[in-house]
Amino acid sequence: MLTQIIKFGALGGVGYAAWRAFRRRQPPSFFAQALQTGATEVEAARSGQLRGASAALRGFALELEREHERRNERLVEASGLEIPPPGARQRATLRSLDLHQGAAHDRAWLRHMRRSHREAIALYEREVVQDGPGAVVAVAALPALREHARRIEELRRERAQPVGMHGERWPRRDEPASATWSVAGNEAEAGARG
């Protein structure tokens, strides 16, 4: 009798170990991935509000926080899952953002948001193409995610353009100064003088 119990225990242990190994190989569901990403984006948006140098970036970060919180609530309703805290990798990314201040933080934050929104768009598009259980939620979320990506690129371009004391854009190295710059701020006047 004791040998049979030991055999069943050993088989049970092997079966459990095989089940855990199989489960590790399965990628997380769309909902789990989307919630994990969404939770991280809410935290990153809060960082942008606290440490951003640009008023435009801080305002956009506030908007992102609100929109991602609403999206996370919809994902929770559709999936029955809870919003997870950011994972170890996401916490490390958030900590690295928090090491920066001012303009350096803005650049790092925009770089992070650009990458994370590209990944999120790919995740949501994949769910739509595969017609998975989250396809309806993904279709509804994609326009907002694409708009976020567009605005991130817009902010990145604005941050990349050097600005003079009075708000005029300085010329790039490959364009003549008369094409974009004038003390009076009138480009047509600058072109006529150049």
pLDDT at 83 over 80: yes
Residue 64: which CATH number?
A: 1.20.1260.10
Q: How far is CA 104 from CA 47, 83, 154, in A?
A: 13, 30, 17
Residue 20 lies in a domain: no
Regarding whether 186 and 104 lie in a shared domain, the answer is no
Tell me what the mean pLDDT of segment 158-165 comes to.
64
* 71 alpha-carbon distance from chain centroid: 13
Q: How many CB atoms lie within 10 A of CB 99?
A: 10
Same domain membership, residue 109 and residue 194: no
Alpha carbon distance 166, 6 (integer Å) = 82
- pLDDT, average across residues 89-109: 92
18 occurs within a structural domain? no
Number of domains in the chain: 2
Quick check: 81 pLDDT over 50? yes
Residue 109 predicted with pLDDT over 60: yes
How many residues are there in the chain?
194
Same domain, 191 and 132: no
Using only the alpha carbons of the chain, give its radius of gyration: 25
Q: Closest by alpha carbon to 149, among 105, 113, 183, 98?
A: 113
Domain around 86? 27-160
Q: Look at residue 5 and tell me if it is in a domain.
A: no
To the nearest whole number, what is the mean pLDDT of the chain? 81
- Checking if the pLDDT of 183 tops 50, the result is no
Residue 186 has pLDDT above 70, yes or no: no
Instruction: Lowest mean pLDDT of 19-28, 53-62, 177-186, name the range.
Output: 177-186
In the prediction, which pLDDT does 47 show? 94
The whole-number pLDDT of residue 4 equals 64
Determine the Cα–Cα distance for residues 47 and 61; give it in Å rounded to an integer: 8
| pLDDT, average across residues 52-60 | 94
User: Is the Cβ–Cβ distance between 179 and 191 less than 8 Å?
Assistant: yes
The pTM of the full predicted model, rounded to 2 decimals, is: 0.69
Average pLDDT over residues 136-158: 96
H-helix or E-strand containing 32?
A: helix 30-51
Do 74 and 128 lie in a common domain? yes
Q: What local confidence, expressed as pLDDT, does residue 179 receive?
A: 46
